[in-house]
Structure 1
Amino acid sequence: MKVLLLKDPKTNDLSSDPYVKELSSHGFQTRLIPVLSFKFVSLEILFEKLSQPENYDGLIFTSPRAVDAVKLCLEKPTNKEAWEQCLKGKWNSKRVYVVGKATAALVAEIGLVSEGEESGNAEKLADHICSTGPVHSRPILFPCGSLKREVLPKKLKEKNVPLETLTVYQTAPHPELQASLTDYFTKEGIPENVVFFSPSGVKFCLQFIQELASNHLCRLKFSAIGPTTAEALNAVGVHASCTAETPTPQDLAKGIKSIGEP
């Protein structure tokens, strides 16, 4: 079975991506095409806020890119020194919430202890915050992307949990996306399964893929890395044949195997 992964790669070597390696180990003919490009913004404002932990009751990270924004701030020696000597410890005295193991791993790299990684999506993380967190008198700082969904802010507002959002990266289609997709469909043919890793991926790729495979859509199955992405597919009338139980390479492989050959 040919499987096409539409995601942001973990390294420049696409073949070493953990999803590619896991699916390939199960005998799938796997190819990864980068979907998104990111531009980081407001980094000075972000570090100014990180420098004032006393103003907040915690942090929320729902994507690896948000943590990358913090890491970029820490590339400046004076910022890194302040973080290591003082700020990191103060933030670790508060709650740091994350979605997903990949985000949690990056948060650990900057020295923070997080919780909520098993939530799987922002909605479930909001439930976790509301059910386990203390009564928040100060806002939780939420560095996020320009295409963030409003599920988490809305749910926290309903529970009277104050939140302060700051857009720290902007999301756009990868500049080579359409060319890469065209090349794949031309040279390798129609994949049996296309896996989306974000609502943005659905937005930027789905229609173009349907055009490329217009005469063979019956052969094409679509999968989602989680319920949020599956909802984005459903919203445009496409059924997700597989939704990974958790956003991990192992559960994605398990889900695709359960579909079977078309």
Structure 2
Amino acid sequence: MAEGSRGTVALFKSSDENALNDDRYLTLLEENNFTVNLVPTLSFEYQTENLRERLQQPYKYSGIILTSPRSAESVNQAMADLLCAWKEMRHYCVGVKTGETAVNLLGLKNLVGQTCGNAENLSSLIVKDFQKGCIPLPLLFPCSSLKLDTLPRTLAEHNVPIDIVNSYVTVPHPHLRDFVMQLSQKKPDYLVFFSPSGVTFSLPYLKEFGLIASVKNISLGNTTAHALEEAKIGVSRICNKPTPEALIIALNSLQIK
């Protein structure tokens, strides 16, 4: 541990997290006397042909479901200038960052669900709107090939029509092993995981270089915590929101000296 530091925190984040978001984590952690290492964990390959075809037919849909910034980015990759008809619709998204990405990249203003926190809560909101008659046509759902089935399953159980389009593939960062090897030269005190995919791709290298033992693991959200638990990895804290502020609260609750 560096002199004056409360510990070294390794952030296992996707490689497309924007610089501003990274800066917020770095700034707040450093202001709270933590040493920070960013580990680019995931990369994304966009597959937009099928999505572009759907986006050219807004009259067939009631809106779009966006469950991550990447889903919004995939829409932008498929159609840089989204048709005006889409911008008049009501759309659903998980998380403030996803909402911000949808506004900045796509020009979508009528967004709901940013504060839902997870797909389960968002699906409940969509079901309520459907039951009120607010969703007469299917919702377009661009997503990763590794999507969890929580939202599609819940919506199907309540007969909410959705059109699922695999619009991007989640893959390990090409230099992930090298980043973890570098991390092993000065072992961190805390490993922070941002997604289940990040857990899946990182764990083999973390085990290879002996970085799991005697370290505290923090997850952003219950889904990521479940992925760690499934891998028989202990979870020290779960952040209730995917924000730098929530991470600081989790770290402080561990009573770091």
Alignment of 1:209-228 (within 5 A): 209-213=206-210, 217=213, 219-228=214-223
Unaligned runs of 5+ in 1: none
Distance 1:95 1:154 in 2: 21
Q: Which has the higher helix share?
A: 1
**Structure 1 residue corresponding to 2:234, chosen from 239, 248, 252:** 239
- Counterpart for residue 174 of structure 2: 175
- The alpha-carbon deviation at position 12 of structure 1 amounts to 5.9
1:253 is aligned to 2:209: no
Range 227-236 or range 152-161, more displaced: 227-236
**How many pairs align?**
246
1:47 is aligned to 2:46: no
Question: TM-score scaled to structure 1, two decimals?
Answer: 0.87
**Which secondary structure state, in structure 1, belongs to the residue aligned with residue 92 of structure 2?**
strand
Deviations 1:123-182 (A, max 9, x none): 111112112444334211000011111111001001111111101111110000001100
- The alpha-carbon deviation at position 92 of structure 1 amounts to 3.4
- Counterpart for residue 112 of structure 1: 108
Alignment RMSD (CA, Å): 1.9
Deviations 1:72-105 (A, max 9, x none): 2344xxxx2xx3xxx23x2233321111111100
Question: TM-score scaled to structure 2, two decimals?
Answer: 0.89
**Which secondary structure state, in structure 2, belongs to the residue aligned with residue 160 of structure 1?**
coil
- The alpha-carbon deviation at position 191 of structure 1 amounts to 1.1
Identity %: 36
- Counterpart for residue 40 of structure 2: 34
Distance 1:202 1:212 in 2: 15
Distance 1:137 1:71 in 2: 25
Q: Which amino acid aligns with 2:108?
A: L
- The alpha-carbon deviation at position 39 of structure 1 amounts to 0.7
**Which secondary structure state, in structure 2, belongs to the residue aligned with residue 165 of structure 1?**
strand
Alignment of 1:75-86 (within 5 A): 75=80, 80=81, 83=82
- Counterpart for residue 18 of structure 1: 24
- Seen in structure 2, the aligned counterparts of structure 1 residues 138 and 11 have a Cα distance that, compared at 3 Å, is closer
1:97 is aligned to 2:96: no
**Which secondary structure state, in structure 2, belongs to the residue aligned with residue 7 of structure 1?**
strand
- Counterpart for residue 184 of structure 1: 183
Q: Which amino acid aligns with 1:139?
A: P
**Which secondary structure state, in structure 1, belongs to the residue aligned with residue 163 of structure 2?**
strand
- The alpha-carbon deviation at position 44 of structure 1 amounts to 3.0
Could you tell me whether the CA contact under 8 Å between 2:12 and 2:40 is conserved in 1? yes
Q: Which amino acid aligns with 1:169?
A: Y
Distance 1:138 1:46 in 2: 17
- The alpha-carbon deviation at position 203 of structure 1 amounts to 0.4
- Counterpart for residue 62 of structure 1: 67
**Which secondary structure state, in structure 1, belongs to the residue aligned with residue 178 of structure 2?**
helix
- The alpha-carbon deviation at position 13 of structure 1 amounts to 8.8
Could you tell me whether the CA contact under 8 Å between 2:55 and 2:79 is conserved in 1? no
